[in-house]
Amino acid sequence: MKTAQDIFNILKEKFGNSVLELVSTQPVEPFITVNPLVVNKICLFLRDNEELLFDNLMNLSGVDDANGKTVKAEDGTSKVEGATLSVYYHIESTSLKHKVVLKVSAPVEKPDVESVALIWRHADWHEREAYDLIGLNFLNHPDLRRILMPYDWEFGHPLRKDYKDPEFYLGMKVPY
Amino acid sequence: MSIEVEEKISKLTEVQKRGNGLRTEHMVLNMGPQHPSTHGVLRLELELEGEIIKKVIPHIGYLHRCFEKHAEAMTYPQVVPYTDRMDYLGAMYNEFGYAVAVEKLLGIQVPERVDYIRVIMGELQRIASHLVALGTYGLDIGAFTPFLYCFRDREKILNLFEITCGARLLYNYIWVGGLSHDIHPDFVRLTKEFVTYFKPNIKELNDLLTNNKIFIDRTANVGVLPKETAINYGISGPNLRASGFKWDIRKDDTYSVYNKFDFDIPVGQGLMGTVGDCWDRYYLRVQEMEQSLRIIEQAIDQIPEGDVSSAIPKRIKPPVGQVYSRVENPRGELGYFIISNGGTSPFRVKVKGPSFVNLGIMDELSRGHMVADIIAILGSIDIVLGEVDR
């Protein structure tokens, strides 16, 4: 059984700069932030390393951090900068009984995250859901389609904090 | 056959050979969304080669109302009735899971009386939910009578819920930090009566359905789910245990007061066929009902005195942070991931619903089976579409 600090040290040694930091100021559970473009390699290592054996992905959730700052340009227009979308991976080992939380963040303009759907098949539908509702783009996902919203939904991703309902969908009035 | 023809056939692909040289292609059959055996509004796109299933593509989202978006607009206590409406056959347990998660985030301890009542309600709900699962499973396969017997017994549990909080399906009973009402003065007596009444009925169900030859022929050795595949797909609850893996959140990551009770975790043994087949998944639920009765029997005699609403916070405002908390609901591991930004409403709530995850295995389980087996496999997974779509 390993603590988050032990796992962080192992990952830091193996992956160097791709593993960013261990955030343990949380009241309940600490998490490790990693690079979104190597998260698949880190997850494969976590699953197959004999000391870690993280065989069970408990949950995968996408989050709109809504942390952008409004910057005013010289010509008077303002735009939001620095906003990120995040993915949290809650992983556990059923044999060694330890858990870890990984977090990746990607800029909202180019929210690319490597898919872990082929490492834990469980992630397949959760990644589709995160793509559908948050708008994260999972690279190398086997089947990245919308899952809960209609396939022809073209009004964005509902769980974004700045999402607005469309006025009409297929001729039906949406706000009631 | 002349040499010429033989030569021609030898050049054909495997698929063409089966069609005696004619071109063959897979047929796509649409099942649902309005289909009695899909247990809700689910559409399955089946790719068939004759009677054999080559691929299953589930299309979900027909009941989607974005619970998670609603939750962001509500205060923490206001979310509770919304959780009811996800898995509407296990509503008590959805509230239970949500309450446990927010309490973890707040760092509060509820009075012991609350914990005991929650466990009793949770286990009664598990029996009620399994009764629906078993009854409708029989109905899907073609046995009508067990369904009526199961619903007769479930009705008695709903009556118990009704005297407790007035509602029979969606309760809004388990609140963050406590309960909405204390139990009715008659509750303990009526629950004891129910336990004595229900025990022999499990044997009756076994005689009617479990050991029925036709039922066994339809379900044994069908849809076999190996243990490793199940873990990799994130399958949880009775479906995982039926594959021979002893894993129950109540024991392995215990919460509330489950560590005070003595109960067993049944696992699939392949009594009628292979470990992890449809019959094992069915029978595991029967065994789980017996264990739930054991928990209720122990808990009902030990309910401590106390005030069930003393720990309910006046104003719920958790510190900045995040928590992932899970409970074992009738269908498996129900997880709530809650992020708080220090306000009175959650910044993000993500629900890991067991039905949503368990449905993902459909394609893997059904390949190579006959069309009729789809019904047997889908019924044995026991999904509730309200939770799949949220």
Verify whether the Cβ–Cβ distance B335 to A147 is below 8 Å: no
Choice among A137-151, B12-26, B99-113 with the minimum mean pLDDT: B12-26
Contact of B319 with chain A, judged by CB distance below 8 Å, is answered with: yes
- Report pLDDT digits (tens) over B80-112: 999 988 888 889 999 999 999 999 888 888 888
Verify whether the Cβ–Cβ distance A121 to B233 is below 8 Å: yes
Confidence band of B9 (pLDDT split at 50, 70, 90): low
- Report pLDDT digits (tens) over A58-97: 899 989 888 878 877 777 777 777 788 899 999 988 888 8
Closest CA to A162 of A65, A62, A60: A65
Distance CA B327, CA B96 (A): 8
Confidence band of B13 (pLDDT split at 50, 70, 90): low
Alpha-carbon distance B61 to nearest alpha carbon in chain A (angstroms)? 4
Verify whether the Cβ–Cβ distance A121 to B104 is below 8 Å: no
- Report pLDDT digits (tens) over B173-200: 998 888 888 888 889 999 999 999 999 9
Question: Residue B21: is its pLDDT beyond 70?
Answer: no
Distance CA B85, CA B180 (A): 18
Q: Mean pLDDT across chain B, nearest whole number?
A: 87
The strand pairing partners of A101, in sequence order, are: A90
**Residue B125: predicted pLDDT:** 92
Verify whether the Cβ–Cβ distance A122 to B357 is below 8 Å: yes
- Compute the residue count for chain B: 390
Verify whether the Cβ–Cβ distance B68 to A122 is below 8 Å: no
Task: Outline where chain B has alpha helix (H).
Answer: 3-11, 14-18, 67-73, 80-84, 91-106, 112-141, 145-165, 187-205, 213-219, 227-232, 238-242, 249-252, 278-300, 354-359, 362-366, 371-381, 385-389
Verify whether the Cβ–Cβ distance B319 to A55 is below 8 Å: no
Select from B64, B233, B326 the Cβ nearest to the Cβ of A148. B64
Contact of B343 with chain A, judged by CB distance below 8 Å, is answered with: no
Confidence band of B131 (pLDDT split at 50, 70, 90): very high
Question: Residue A36: is its pLDDT beyond 60?
Answer: yes
**Residue B127: predicted pLDDT:** 92
Verify whether the Cβ–Cβ distance B66 to A150 is below 8 Å: no
Contact of A57 with chain B, judged by CB distance below 8 Å, is answered with: yes
Verify whether the Cβ–Cβ distance B232 to A121 is below 8 Å: yes
Interface of B with A in 153-212 (CB under 8 A): none
Select from B69, B252, B323 the Cβ nearest to the Cβ of A158. B69
Distance CA B74, CA B71 (A): 5
Measured between its terminal Cα atoms, the distance across chain B in Å is 61
How far lies B384's CA from each of B87, B148, B229, B357, B378, in Å? 6, 20, 22, 11, 11
**Tokens for A77?**
């227009």
Alpha-carbon distance A147 to nearest alpha carbon in chain B (angstroms)? 7
All residues of chain A having their beta carbon less than 8 Å from the beta carbon of residue B365 are none
Select from A27, A59, A120 the Cβ nearest to the Cβ of B337. A59
Question: Residue B1: is its pLDDT beyond 60?
Answer: no
- Report pLDDT digits (tens) over B266-315: 988 888 888 888 898 999 999 999 999 999 999 998 888 888 888 888 88
Predicted TM-score (pTM) of the model is: 0.88
**Residue B189: predicted pLDDT:** 92
Interface of A with B in 113-172 (CB under 8 A): 120-122, 124-126, 133, 146-150, 158-159
Contact of A29 with chain B, judged by CB distance below 8 Å, is answered with: yes
**Residue B159: predicted pLDDT:** 92
Question: Residue A105: is its pLDDT beyond 80?
Answer: yes
Contact of B257 with chain A, judged by CB distance below 8 Å, is answered with: no
Which helix (H) or strand (E) covers residue B390, if one does?
A: none
**Residue A170: predicted pLDDT:** 86
- Report pLDDT digits (tens) over B328-359: 989 889 999 999 888 888 998 999 989 999 98
A14 vs B13: which has the higher pLDDT: A14
Contact of A69 with chain B, judged by CB distance below 8 Å, is answered with: no
For A154-173, give one letter per residue: b (16+ CB within 10 A) or e: eeebbbbeeeeeeeeeeeee
All residues of chain A having their beta carbon less than 8 Å from the beta carbon of residue B254 are none
Size of interface A-B (CB pairs under 8 A): 88
Contact of B67 with chain A, judged by CB distance below 8 Å, is answered with: no
Alpha-carbon distance B140 to nearest alpha carbon in chain A (angstroms)? 26
Proportion of chain B above pLDDT 90, given as a percent: 21
Question: Residue B18: is its pLDDT beyond 70?
Answer: no
Verify whether the Cβ–Cβ distance A27 to B105 is below 8 Å: yes
Contact of B357 with chain A, judged by CB distance below 8 Å, is answered with: yes
Question: Residue B245: is its pLDDT beyond 80?
Answer: yes
All residues of chain B having their beta carbon less than 8 Å from the beta carbon of residue A95 are none
DSSP A18: G
Q: Which of A87, A96, A122, A161 to substitute to test the interface with B, most B CBs within 10 Å?
A: A122
Confidence band of A8 (pLDDT split at 50, 70, 90): confident
ipTM confidence: 0.89
Proportion of chain B above pLDDT 70, given as a percent: 96
Alpha-carbon distance A73 to nearest alpha carbon in chain B (angstroms)? 29
